[in-house]
A and B are shown apart, each in its own frame.
Chain A
């Protein structure tokens, strides 16, 4: 039992949430049905093919059997009943997986190309999800741009994230550990890179880390080093390279600090602190000439410390 929850079964990933086991038992039931029915049909087919081969002794069929109402009724009825059982069972599991308990802790999730951000009740935001074990957590999902889908295989939860609406999922993680979050609705170039991690912490660790700030600068770390981590954490790397002259969706960060240039509407700019801050918070304000206005805003996601660290990191790129 212990090993199943750690590494999963042959078919399924580990069970890390309270509802995962329910889903798995339905899965196992259907899988058993599959084995049985496949075995029946496979055996019948192979047996008949071997037994009734056309040979010189058996050149033509020996029966003109055309139908059998009893048998046909039976193999309509039995699968129908089984299907209805699966339907009812599936719907109950679904309901349990959909309706969150009243005492669930709410976390707001925002998806955008191609990153996630998680906002907690105290207002802090993170790019990985932090959740306490043994406590139901309800995620309220929204998207800033296109459809995404929030998927944690180990929790067996998934929901599309729809722009202009809110959708929800909930889970209760059983014990501390890390689990993968995927985006499963195709959302463009970096779709497969839109994975993050759920860090499940014990209730005490969660409370402590929360008050310290989940993703504050690790003690003693160089701001520029932290800035580089943030650069990949927020998915900047999807569109901005670090090599000289590298062109992705946006311009390269190489030598960005102090760079002079022209915007799409013909004004000139100098990439100082203020410019960089504005470009991250309100990317549409100044578009560098020759690039599409494609960047999403990181308002409400990147805090003051982090901004300083990112700028410190940019200053090192020469």
Chain B
């Protein structure tokens, strides 16, 4: 193609152009109706920060309520709505779109050496749908909210008197956003790669996004039909899930978890992708076992469809189904384990700098290891019976979701912040925030393992003073305040950097993938000429420290 005939081997750093994607056009409309993937990524980023803050405050409220037995700050009805909303907001509004739609949208086309995603208008539509879904969810909350838990189990959800239909429709709409993002990414990764960008030269973040997108496309429609059936159950009284009408309530759980278990990997896989980028860049070393990490992403994506029944070990599903699901669950543990050990091994003989993104990455490594290992208890039938629906599960998935994905999200945000805005943040404050969050996280969630395995059920508004759970709840609540402190430091630091931050160079971390080839912030269409890639994304030179990312031949003039 045209790029083949391009002869511009000289790669030059510096010489920033004054026009970039941020100041190329002005006005609110130029943002709301942009089809530039970078702008859409930023809009996602800020919306998602907002939803994360909302979900976070709900979590603080939950923790505060549990500080003492009995009523502390709210009654049971309010509590049930708050914890439900916390789950819904964090799952559907923060963590599922978090890394793919915000960071992925911004970075992925740059990493591929493409000028945009394959369907820019669809990308914008996907953002608009996300906003509509978010507004619907918030409206539902103001209109009375729902108290079903984010899982909407029937027949409770199909019989109680609350805004279930509206909330399911909100999740239904959000599902479309997720499907379109996934679809766009799959096509982009297949069709839009720069010359020379073969599958084994793809950055691992792109591999992870690819695996994620497969799940988004394959699983989300089932969530759609599940929620539709639930709504029909309420509106028309269809009865498929209602035993009083001849249906089977356990069937709803099959439907729900067919999506929602793979969705767990929609949440964690992109985080793993970010990890691979951070660990290599900050140890300045080639990743250990590139192929194993890339393929394990795909393996996780596929196996994730086979294990949903481990959410249903005590639901009354058959013992045979339990056995099969338990077995398959252990298979999915293996690829995750491979990733962890490979990241750890990548550090070996590297040149490690503990910049803020790396601190987040190391937090991920530790916390995700704990989260993953405690999953073994829940995959084994014998122990799961005892631990199911207790705080042990709550702690486990927070270690994976928050200790994993959220840490990766913040790490990635710090990593690409200079690329996004062309500004550096205060490094000390950023590290301080990361360490504070790490400490606060453990103080919050580790006690929950102990009280969980000692029998404290989840989704409880109240507990008995004599049960001995109170001290754990109190430690946990104090931990949530430390977490809040860390988050505040991070937010202040990042936002003040937009104004006062130092100018960032095009490649402040001396990383090796293509997004660092273009200037910071990038020009409007990413690259003037599509670069030609000649080597992998992690070829950190041993002899000398300078080279263009992926040996690319062309870039900004």
Contact present between A and B (CB < 8 A): yes
**A-side interface residues toward B, CB under 8 Å?**
8, 10-13, 22-23, 26-27, 30, 33-34, 37-38, 41-42, 44-45, 48-49, 52-54, 58-68, 71-72, 75-76, 79-80, 83-84, 86-87, 89-95, 97-98, 145-147, 149, 151, 153-154, 156-160, 162-165, 167, 180, 182-193, 195, 292
Tell me whether A186 and B344 are in contact (CB under 8 A): no
Instruction: Closest A residue to B349 by CB, please name it.
Output: A63
CA distance A235 to B129 in the complex (A): 45
Tell me whether B330 and A48 are in contact (CB under 8 A): no
For residue A49, which residues in chain B have a CB less than 8 angstroms away from its CB? 347, 352, 354, 362
Q: Please, what's the 1-or-0 string for B345-376, where 1 marks a CB less than 8 Å from any CB in chain A?
A: 10111111110000000100110011001101
Give the B interface residue count (CB, 8 A): 91
Q: Nearest 10 pairs between A and B by C-beta?
A: A164-B243, A93-B382, A153-B455, A90-B380, A94-B381, A48-B347, A192-B460, A63-B349, A83-B330, A61-B285
For residue B338, which residues in chain A have a CB less than 8 angstroms away from its CB? 72, 75-76
14 A-B pairs besides A27-B377, A90-B326 with CB distance below 8 A are A23-B382, A42-B366, A45-B347, A61-B286, A67-B290, A87-B326, A87-B327, A91-B381, A149-B389, A154-B455, A162-B315, A184-B457, A188-B156, A189-B76
Tell me whether B460 and A75 are in contact (CB under 8 A): no
Tell me whether B149 and A186 are in contact (CB under 8 A): yes
Task: Indicate whether B487 reaches chain A with its CB closer than 8 angstroms.
Answer: no
CA distance A30 to B387 in the complex (A): 13
Tell me whether A92 and B382 are in contact (CB under 8 A): yes
Task: Indicate whether B288 reaches chain A with its CB closer than 8 angstroms.
Answer: yes
CA distance A189 to B81 in the complex (A): 10
Ordered by A's residue number, 17 sampled pairs between the chains whose C-beta atoms are within 8 Å are A23-B382, A41-B344, A48-B350, A52-B351, A53-B351, A61-B350, A61-B351, A62-B349, A87-B330, A92-B382, A94-B385, A149-B389, A158-B388, A162-B243, A186-B153, A187-B156, A191-B80
Q: In residues 269-306 of chain B, which contact A (Cβ within 8 Å)?
A: 283-292
**B-side interface residues toward A, CB under 8 Å?**
76-77, 80, 147-149, 153, 155-156, 159-161, 243-244, 248-250, 283-292, 314-316, 319, 322-323, 326-327, 330-331, 333-334, 337-338, 340-342, 344-345, 347-354, 362, 365-366, 369-370, 373-374, 376-377, 379-386, 388-390, 450, 453-455, 457-464, 467, 540-542, 545
Tell me whether A147 and B153 are in contact (CB under 8 A): yes
For residue A42, which residues in chain B have a CB less than 8 angstroms away from its CB? 366, 369
CA distance A66 to B542 in the complex (A): 13
User: In the complex, how many angstroms separate the beta carbon of A202 from the nearest chain B beta carbon?
Assistant: 24
User: In the complex, how many angstroms separate the beta carbon of A53 from the nearest chain B beta carbon?
Assistant: 6
Tell me whether B243 and A83 are in contact (CB under 8 A): no
CA distance A75 to B341 in the complex (A): 8
Tell me whether A26 and B289 are in contact (CB under 8 A): no
CA distance A214 to B527 in the complex (A): 81
Tell me whether A61 and B381 are in contact (CB under 8 A): no
Tell me whether A79 and B334 are in contact (CB under 8 A): yes
Instruction: Closest A residue to B248 by CB, please name it.
Output: A164
Tell me whether B382 and A22 are in contact (CB under 8 A): yes
For residue A64, which residues in chain B have a CB less than 8 angstroms away from its CB? 285-286, 540, 542
User: In the complex, how many angstroms separate the beta carbon of A43 from the nearest chain B beta carbon?
Assistant: 10
Tell me whether B366 and A97 are in contact (CB under 8 A): no
Tell me whether A89 and B457 are in contact (CB under 8 A): no
CA distance A11 to B374 in the complex (A): 13
Choose among B323, B344, B385, B542 the residue with the greatest number of A CB atoms under 10 Å from its CB: B385
CA distance A52 to B497 in the complex (A): 30
Contact of A61 among B331, B463, B542 (CB under 8 A): B542
Tell me whether B330 and A86 are in contact (CB under 8 A): yes
For residue B290, which residues in chain A have a CB less than 8 angstroms away from its CB? 66-67
CB within 8 Å for A192 and B389 given contacts A87-B326, A145-B155, A162-B243: no
For residue A45, which residues in chain B have a CB less than 8 angstroms away from its CB? 344, 347, 362, 365-366
CA distance A224 to B337 in the complex (A): 63
CB within 8 Å for A10 and B450 given contacts A60-B542, A182-B455: yes
Tell me whether B463 and A186 are in contact (CB under 8 A): no
For residue A98, which residues in chain B have a CB less than 8 angstroms away from its CB? 319
CA distance A27 to B386 in the complex (A): 10
For residue A12, which residues in chain B have a CB less than 8 angstroms away from its CB? 453-454
For residue B250, which residues in chain A have a CB less than 8 angstroms away from its CB? 162, 165
CA distance A98 to B336 in the complex (A): 31
Tell me whether A76 and B334 are in contact (CB under 8 A): yes
Instruction: Closest B residue to A43 by CB, please name it.
Output: B344
For residue A95, which residues in chain B have a CB less than 8 angstroms away from its CB? 319
User: In the complex, how many angstroms separate the beta carbon of A138 from the nearest chain B beta carbon?
Assistant: 16
Instruction: Closest A residue to B355 by CB, please name it.
Output: A54
For residue B464, which residues in chain A have a CB less than 8 angstroms away from its CB? 195
Instruction: Closest A residue to B368 by CB, please name it.
Output: A41
Tell me whether B348 and A63 are in contact (CB under 8 A): yes
CA distance A195 to B466 in the complex (A): 13
For residue B291, which residues in chain A have a CB less than 8 angstroms away from its CB? 67
For residue A84, which residues in chain B have a CB less than 8 angstroms away from its CB? 330
For residue A165, which residues in chain B have a CB less than 8 angstroms away from its CB? 243, 250, 316
Contact of B385 among A10, A59, A156, A185 (CB under 8 A): A156
Instruction: Closest B residue to A20 by CB, please name it.
Output: B386
Tell me whether B542 and A34 are in contact (CB under 8 A): no
CB within 8 Å for A163 and B249 given contacts A41-B340, A66-B288, A188-B80: yes
For residue B383, which residues in chain A have a CB less than 8 angstroms away from its CB? 23, 26-27, 30, 90, 93
User: In the complex, how many angstroms separate the beta carbon of B9 from the nearest chain A beta carbon?
Assistant: 24
For residue B455, which residues in chain A have a CB less than 8 angstroms away from its CB? 13, 151, 153-154, 180, 182
For residue B334, which residues in chain A have a CB less than 8 angstroms away from its CB? 76, 79-80, 83
Choose among B156, B338, B377 the residue with the greatest number of A CB atoms under 10 Å from its CB: B156
For residue B283, which residues in chain A have a CB less than 8 angstroms away from its CB? 52, 61
CA distance A48 to B284 in the complex (A): 13
Tell me whether B462 and A94 are in contact (CB under 8 A): no
Tell me whether A151 and B457 are in contact (CB under 8 A): yes
For residue B285, which residues in chain A have a CB less than 8 angstroms away from its CB? 61, 63-65
Instruction: Closest A residue to B151 by CB, please name it.
Output: A186
For residue A184, which residues in chain B have a CB less than 8 angstroms away from its CB? 388-390, 457-458
CA distance A13 to B334 in the complex (A): 31
CB within 8 Å for A67 and B382 given contacts A45-B347, A151-B457: no
For residue B467, which residues in chain A have a CB less than 8 angstroms away from its CB? 180
For residue A11, which residues in chain B have a CB less than 8 angstroms away from its CB? 450, 453-454
CB within 8 Å for A54 and B244 given contacts A41-B340, A44-B344: no
For residue A94, which residues in chain B have a CB less than 8 angstroms away from its CB? 319, 322, 381-382, 385
Instruction: Closest B residue to A166 by CB, please name it.
Output: B316
Instruction: Closest B residue to A238 by CB, please name it.
Output: B76
CA distance A162 to B353 in the complex (A): 55
For residue B322, which residues in chain A have a CB less than 8 angstroms away from its CB? 94
User: In the complex, how many angstroms separate the beta carbon of B435 from the nearest chain A beta carbon?
Assistant: 14
CA distance A81 to B286 in the complex (A): 29
Tell me whether A292 and B161 are in contact (CB under 8 A): yes
CA distance A76 to B289 in the complex (A): 12
User: In the complex, how many angstroms separate the beta carbon of A140 from the nearest chain B beta carbon?
Assistant: 12
Instruction: Closest A residue to B543 by CB, please name it.
Output: A60
CA distance A80 to B344 in the complex (A): 19
Contact of A191 among B349, B386, B461 (CB under 8 A): B461
For residue A10, which residues in chain B have a CB less than 8 angstroms away from its CB? 450
CA distance A141 to B459 in the complex (A): 22
CA distance A75 to B248 in the complex (A): 43
Tell me whether B380 and A158 are in contact (CB under 8 A): no
Instruction: Closest A residue to B336 by CB, please name it.
Output: A79
For residue A193, which residues in chain B have a CB less than 8 angstroms away from its CB? 462
For residue B319, which residues in chain A have a CB less than 8 angstroms away from its CB? 94-95, 98
CA distance A91 to B286 in the complex (A): 41
CA distance A107 to B483 in the complex (A): 47
For residue B344, which residues in chain A have a CB less than 8 angstroms away from its CB? 41, 44-45, 48
For residue A61, which residues in chain B have a CB less than 8 angstroms away from its CB? 283-286, 349-351, 540, 542
CA distance A82 to B337 in the complex (A): 12
For residue B352, which residues in chain A have a CB less than 8 angstroms away from its CB? 48-49, 52-54
